[in-house]
Structure 1
Amino acid sequence: MASPQIDHGYTRIANEILDQTMKRKFNGTQLSLLMAIWRNTYGFQRKEHEMSIRFLAEAIGAHRNQVDRELTNLVERHVIIVVSTGKRGSRVLRFNKNHEEWIDCHLNSGLSAKTVTELSPRKVTEHTANPRTKKERIKKRNKETRPTKKYDEDSTYYKMASYFHDKVRAVAKAEGLGHLIIKANLQSWADQMRLLVENDEVEKRLARDVMDWVVTDSFWKTNILSAKKLRDKFPELALKMKATGKQGSGRQNNQMSQNEKLMREIEEEMAREQSGAEEAFSYHQQLLPELPNGRR
């Protein structure tokens, strides 16, 4: 008969953490992951520890894909913090006991628990705060899921994708996470940039500033490793950037890098478009007949 005793070991955890955990909308796998992380940090009188996906999967008896998916959700919601990359190449994880920073996904009418788990916090907010008709939702979904178009290397969106990819690749390599973007598809990244600008109506200059900033932020640089994640989190990232009053320092070096050349070309293209519009307006003004009072 099992007879657990605290003399054989126990995990000290504040009651406030347990109270907040019970109130939040975590699914079964997420709760198991939280307990596994508590066990291997607080249970050994430490705040953080290197834990691989395989280790956590064995600890809670779940498939690695499922663990990877739900752990990513906890990281995105600021419940778990990725501190760094450990000596064995896995992530060093820490539980964020400041529950006021957690991003919660509240269940609402029309949203199942599975739906809340799969949606990012940004998408849940959009769904609950700005409900659409079924026809509008289908139209928006079809627009975003249409086959990815082919982008030339000289196109603006491809240049934006290449610019961000090079920055992310440098961060991933430095953090030992290069394997996560080794198969990055720049065509897909370019399409996400198009959606960011055309669908989300984000200005290109703001997009560039956020790209520069996110790869320097201690928390986000290891959590935004793709163009899709950048787009999904863009509103939150832009607010964080403005709140900290910082922007990326990638252009402080006097010697222009290849990435900076790409963004300079994008800016010049935008300037040419504006100049062309002004010249066309001036030309049409000249064609108008002059009125007696000197006006056209």
Structure 2
Amino acid sequence: MNEVNPQPENGYTRIANELLEAIISYPFTKAELKLILLIIRKTYGWNRKKVSMSYGILSNLTYLNKRYIKKVIYKLIKDKVLTKEKDNKKNILGLNKRYHQWRLNIHTQKDTTGVSCRTLPGVLEDTPKGVLADTSILLNTERNRDKERFKETNPHSKFSFFKPKTQTLRKYSKQPIHIRELISLIS
């Protein structure tokens, strides 16, 4: 029976703790994390900054579909987590070690039951239902104000509730946030 006994003498990947902590704190999906760790292994594990890999090789090493890998890599490049150069048919990929440039897209979910929220410094007391109770009150009052304004301008309109809202929490939450801002909010 072969015993597994990994030792640093048999090879290791050298990575800065600060970069590793940024990767840990960023909300990557499982596929994104697999690809990032693979690229770290193939670059920093061999003392390189970039590696030339095709989607087929990435697929074989991560057991992910090639098409899905293309989508995930495109998203990681768009979010400035990975860097990419094109060389003939292979992609030259690397990790952007300037993690403060990474973009974080926060999307609100319809079902928020079971979501825990940490109270930020400066907030004295949490509401019984958490942050969602306060935001729903704010959104409802804003919605009511919009309805009243629309009724004043168009008193005969039957569809006053279809008025587009100028700025809502959902619209605001889809804006990208840099990870440095997120870390400063948490710490």
Normalized against structure 2, the TM-score is what?
0.56
CA 1:108–1:4 in 2, change beyond 3 Å: closer, same or farther? Answer: same
1:97 alignment partner in structure 2? 97
Greater than 4 Å deviation, 4+ residue runs: none
2:124 alignment partner in structure 1? none
Superposed, 1:132-151 pairs within 5 Å as none
CA contact (8 A) 1:49 1:93 kept: yes
Separation in structure 2 between the aligned mates of residue 77 and residue 104 of structure 1, nearest angstrom: 7
2:13 alignment partner in structure 1? 11
Separation in structure 1 between the aligned mates of residue 99 and residue 163 of structure 2, nearest angstrom: 36
Two-structure CA RMSD over aligned residues (Å)? 2.5
Give 3-state SS (helix, strand or coil) of 1:104's partner: strand
Separation in structure 2 between the aligned mates of residue 76 and residue 136 of structure 1, nearest angstrom: 33
CA contact (8 A) 1:78 1:101 kept: yes
1:40 alignment partner in structure 2? 42
Superposed, 1:258-277 pairs within 5 Å as none
CA 1:44–1:106 in 2, change beyond 3 Å: closer, same or farther? Answer: same
2:75 alignment partner in structure 1? 73
Q: Which amino acid aligns with 2:76?
A: L
Q: Which amino acid aligns with 1:96?
A: N
Superposed, 1:175-254 pairs within 5 Å as none
1:110 alignment partner in structure 2? 110
Whether 1:50 and 2:58 are equivalent positions in the alignment is: no
Q: Which amino acid aligns with 1:16?
A: E
Gaps of 5+ in 1: 113-129, 138-296
Separation in structure 2 between the aligned mates of residue 17 and residue 111 of structure 1, nearest angstrom: 32
C-alpha deviation, 1:108, in angstroms: 3.4
Normalized against structure 1, the TM-score is what?
0.36
CA 1:79–1:16 in 2, change beyond 3 Å: closer, same or farther? Answer: same
Separation in structure 2 between the aligned mates of residue 8 and residue 60 of structure 1, nearest angstrom: 22
Gaps of 5+ in 2: 113-138, 144-161, 165-187
C-alpha deviation, 1:61, in angstroms: 1.2
1:21 alignment partner in structure 2? 23
